[in-house]
Amino acid sequence: MRDGYVLDFSNRTFSEFFEDEFGFDIYQEKYELQGESKAKRLRTLIEVEEGAVVASVIQKLWMLRLNDKQKAPVAAEDDLWIQGLITHLQTSGSAPLVQSLVSTARILDFDTVTRDLNRALETSQSDPESAITSACSTLESVCRSVLVELGLELPKKRDISSLFRAVREPLKLSPSRTDMHQDILGDVQKILGGLGTLVEGVGALRTHAGDAHGREKGFVRIDSRTAALAVHSAITAALFLIQTWQKHYPTTSLHKH
C-alpha cells in the first residue's frame, strides 16, 4: 500500500468493492483518522473494526492479489503468513464466547466444529448466506456426535430441529424438567424452551436464507447483521451442548461424526 494506493483500485472501484462485498461505505468519516487516501482508510479500518471484519477484508483483498496475473507470483511463505494472520483475527479477535468454543473443540479433538465455526466467522460479513449454513452445520455436528457416542439412532429427519430434539432428553435439557429448586425452576424452563426456539430459528434461517440449496434469480441477500446474530446464537448453543455433555459424561470423549 505504498503512496496511498491499494492494489489497482481507483477511488470508485475501491468504494464499490466495500459496498458490494461488505455492505458499508469505506469513504465515511470514521475511516479518515489517518488520512483520506485508500491505504490510510484501509489502515484505519484495520485498527477500528472487529477482528472478524478485518479478517474478511484482508482475505478478499489477498485473493484479488493472488489472482492478479499482471503481478509477480506471491511467495509461498508470504501466503502462509497472511493465512495465519487471517485465522488469528478470526479467533483471537473475536468475542470470548467464540474463543471458548474454539478452545473446547480443540481439547476434544472436535475438528468438525472448528472447521464449520471458522467458515461461519470468516464469511459472516462477506457471504452471510454461507455463514448461516456453516453456523447450522456447527450445531448439527455437535448433536450428531452426542447421539453416536451415546449409541442412539439418528432421527429419520437429519435437520437440526430433529437432531436437537433427539439429544435434549439424554442431556437433560427438556424444558419440562422439574428437578430444580422452585425459586429457579420457571426461569430455567423458559431458558431451555428458548434454547429450542433458537436452534429451530437457526435451522429455519438456513433453509430460507442459507446457500445450502442454491440461490434463484432475484435472490435477496440477507443482512450481515442477521447472519452474525445466527452465527453467535449457534456458537452459544453449541458451546452449551458440549459443556453439558462434559458434565453428564465426563469420562466419555466426544469425537467428530
Angle between helix 128-149 and 111-123 (nearest 10) = 170
Total structural domains in the chain?
A: 1
Rounded mean pLDDT of 152-172? 91
Provide the pLDDT for residue 84: 74
In the predicted model, is pLDDT for residue 255 greater than 70?
no
DSSP code for 133:
H
Task: State which of 12-21, 116-125, 140-149 shows the largest mean pLDDT.
Answer: 12-21
Task: Assess if residue 134 is contained within a domain.
Answer: yes
pLDDT of 81 > 70? The answer is yes
Rg, C-alpha atoms of the chain: 21
Give dist(CA 125, CA 54) in Å, integer: 10
Is 21 within a domain? no
Is 16 within a domain?
no
C-alpha cell, 58? 484482508
Full domain range(s) for residue 231 = 95-257
Model pLDDT for residues 20-35, shown as the tens digit of each residue: 888 889 999 888 888 8
Helix residue ranges per DSSP H, 49-110: 51-66, 76-91, 96-107
42 domain residue, yes or no: no
Residue 144 is assigned to a structural domain of this protein = yes
Assess if residue 180 is contained within a domain: yes
pTM: 0.55
The proportion of the chain whose per-residue pLDDT surpasses 70, expressed as a percent, equals 77
d(CA 244, CA 177): 15
Banded model confidence at residue 235, pLDDT cuts 50, 70, 90 = confident
**pLDDT given at position 109:** 46
Report residue 99's pLDDT band, with 50, 70 and 90 as the boundaries: low
Q: Given a cut of 90, is residue 250 above it in pLDDT?
A: no
Burial 3-19 (b: 16+ CB within 10 A, else e): eeebeebeeeebbebbe
Q: Does residue 187 lie in a domain region?
A: yes
67-to-6, 40, 73, 122, 130 alpha-carbon distances in Å: 15, 24, 9, 19, 22
Residue 19 domain-assigned (yes or no): no
d(CA 103, CA 96): 10
Residue 89: pLDDT over 80 = no
Average of pLDDT values for 195-213? 83
Q: Mean per-residue pLDDT for 174-200?
A: 87
Rounded (10°) angle between helices 182-209 and 128-149: 130
For residue 35, report the phi and psi dihedrals to the nearest 5 degrees.
135, 180
Distance separating alpha carbons of residues 151 and 149, to the nearest angstrom: 5
Better-scored residue on pLDDT, 48 or 114:
48
